[in-house]
């Protein structure tokens, strides 16, 4: 059965088509700069990558082109062959603890949740509507970044703010990257050969979050009401003193929302280094002796270690530490710096094993008290799996 996994952003639309349940990836691609000048798309299949520059006034045209490419490249003969479409939705609030069908009622809830996810949910709704218009007969589903974190207890998800902010405004921790944390923790349990495990999953990409997973269920995570909480990220600040917002707004004559944009887009590795949000550029800066890149990296690693240490205590031990996403899968030096700082817990890196990028593998020594693994994430496959299960 052919299942399409879709991730719509405000000006982009990423997709991967799978043959399920074989989990075979047939084609993937991304439409970029939708609604802007110079829009284009790239598609990958059969080991080839093709780029085309086209006008993409809206997500509708992107979705129509996507379907046309599937036919032109003989991946399908007929639109009806696509039986299910799974949509990634960032914020499911406290409404969804699992993936669901994209009924009008559920889409309405996703729309309403735009209030707490203004950067993410409106784009998802646009993507869902475009897909429903072009292939109305396919089963459409919603797969939430937040649902894996719905098992978190209120002690961990509440903020110490006026209680009415929670009851009236839904202010609480929701967490994100749940699809990835779920995927890698399932894979880790397969590797460990059991499900009664204590895992610390580190999704470290441009956005970054860490979760504590007990017996397959998430008990805590570092992102919060929005993705800008917890770790220092590519361009997000993560945890900071909340009073900084009003202080900087007053001093610089900015609105709270303008300060928030700076905390999301001009902070993190980029803000400290002044160079880039990309950890490869930071590494290069460090090699050239750039002091601010050195400082940025030290701060970045410290936050990750702080969270791992805190979750180690919360879980009452740890059976495995998992690294995933762009930095977690590829940055040999960042992984080494993190694991070296965890030596107090008996963690021992194996440098030869760690000298690898993007492959599922053990990276600690056999006598390490806690094993650490790289497990490449596959959120698209997780979305397709949930969609297949709701479609078949």
Q: Which stretch binds ligand ADP (CB under 6 A): 87-95, 184-192, 301-309, 319-327?
A: 319-327
Q: In this chain, which residue has its C-beta nearest to ligand ADP?
A: 326
- For residue 325, the minimal CB distance to ligand ADP (Å) is 4
Nearest to 362 by CA among 323, 334, 315, 317: 323
Give the sheet arrangement for strand 361-362, strand by strand.
Answer: 217-221, 208-214, 198-204, 320-324, 372-374, 361-362
Task: State how beta strands 198-204 and 320-324 pair.
Answer: parallel
- Is 145 a known active-site residue? yes
The site that binds ligand ADP (CB under 6 A) totals a number of residues, namely 13
- Measured from the CB atom, the residue of 106 and 201 that comes closer to ligand ADP is 201
- Measured from the CB atom, the residue of 69 and 379 that comes closer to ligand ADP is 379
**Interaction between residue 131 and ligand ADP (CB under 6 A):** no
Cβ-proximal residues to 253 (8 Å cutoff; 6+ apart), any chain: none
- For residue 228, the minimal CB distance to ligand ADP (Å) is 13
Cα 242 from Cα 257, distance rounded (Å): 14
Angle at 142 between CA 140 and CA 145, to 5 degrees: 155
Of the residues 131, 325, 383, 390, which one makes contact with ligand ADP according to CB under 6 A:
325
Of the residues 151, 206, 260, 389, which one makes contact with ligand ADP according to CB under 6 A:
206
From residue 246 to residue 285, the character string flagging contacts with ligand ADP as x (rule: CB under 6 A) and all else as - is: --------------------------------xxx-----
Q: How many CA atoms lie within 13 A of 75 on its CB side?
A: 25
**Helix%, strand%, coil% for the chain, nearest 5:** 45, 20, 35
Nearest to 111 by CA among 96, 90, 125: 125
**Interaction between residue 330 and ligand ADP (CB under 6 A):** yes
Of the residues 205, 230, 238, 271, which one makes contact with ligand ADP according to CB under 6 A:
205
- For residue 44, the minimal CB distance to ligand ADP (Å) is 15
Per annotation, catalytic residue among 38, 145, 153, 278: 145
**Interaction between residue 24 and ligand ADP (CB under 6 A):** no
Cα 31 from Cα 72, distance rounded (Å): 17
Cα 390 from Cα 386, distance rounded (Å): 6
Positions in the binding site for ligand ADP (CB under 6 A): 205-207, 234, 278-280, 325-327, 330-331, 357
Active-site residue list: 145
């Amino acid at each position: 059965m052919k299942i399409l996994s879709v991730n719509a952003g405000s000006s982009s639309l990423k997709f991967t088509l799978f043959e399920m349940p074989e989990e075979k990836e047939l084609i993937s691609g991304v439409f970029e700069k939708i609604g802007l000048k110079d829009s284009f798309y790239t598609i990958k299949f059969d080991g080839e990558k093709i780029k085309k520059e086209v006008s993409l006034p809206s997500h509708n045209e992107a979705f129509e082109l996507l379907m046309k490419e599937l036919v032109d490249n003989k991946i399908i003969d007929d639109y009806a062959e696509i039986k299910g479409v799974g949509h990634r939705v960032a914020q499911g609030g406290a409404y969804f603890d699992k993936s669901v069908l994209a009924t009008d009622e559920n889409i309405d809830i996703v729309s309403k949740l735009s209030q707490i996810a203004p950067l993410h949910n409106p784009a998802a709704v646009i993507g869902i509507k475009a897909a429903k218009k072009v292939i109305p007969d396919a089963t459409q589903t919603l797969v939430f970044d937040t649902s894996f974190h719905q098992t978190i207890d209120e002690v961990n998800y509440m903020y110490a703010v006026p209680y009415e902010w929670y009851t009236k405004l839904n202010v609480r921790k929701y967490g994100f990257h749940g699809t990835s944390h779920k995927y890698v923790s399932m894979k880790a349990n397969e590797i460990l050969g059991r499900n009664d495990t204590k895992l610390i999953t580190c999704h470290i990409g441009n956005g970054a979050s860490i979760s504590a997973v007990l017996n397959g269920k998430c008990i805590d995570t570092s992102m919060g009401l929005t993705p800008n909480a917890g770790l220092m990220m590519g361009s997000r600040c993560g945890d900071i003193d909340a009073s900084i917002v009003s202080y900087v707004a007053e001093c610089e004559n900015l609105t709270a929302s303008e300060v928030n944009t700076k905390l999301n887009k001009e902070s993190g590795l980029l803000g400290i280094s002044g160079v880039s949000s990309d950890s490869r550029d930071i590494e290069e800066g460090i090699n050239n002796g750039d002091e601010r890149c050195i400082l940025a990296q030290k701060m970045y690693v410290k936050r990750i270690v702080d969270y791992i240490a805190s979750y180690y205590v919360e879980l009452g031990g740890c059976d495995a530490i998992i690294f995933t996403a762009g930095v977690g899968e590829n940055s040999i030096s960042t992984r080494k710096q993190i694991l070296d700082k965890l030596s107090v817990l008996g963690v021992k890196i194996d440098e030869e094993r760690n000298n690898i990028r993007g492959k599922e593998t053990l990276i600690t020594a056999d006598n390490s008290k806690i094993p650490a693994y790289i497990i490449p994430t596959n959120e698209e496959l997780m979305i397709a799996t949930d969609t297949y299960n709701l479609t078949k």
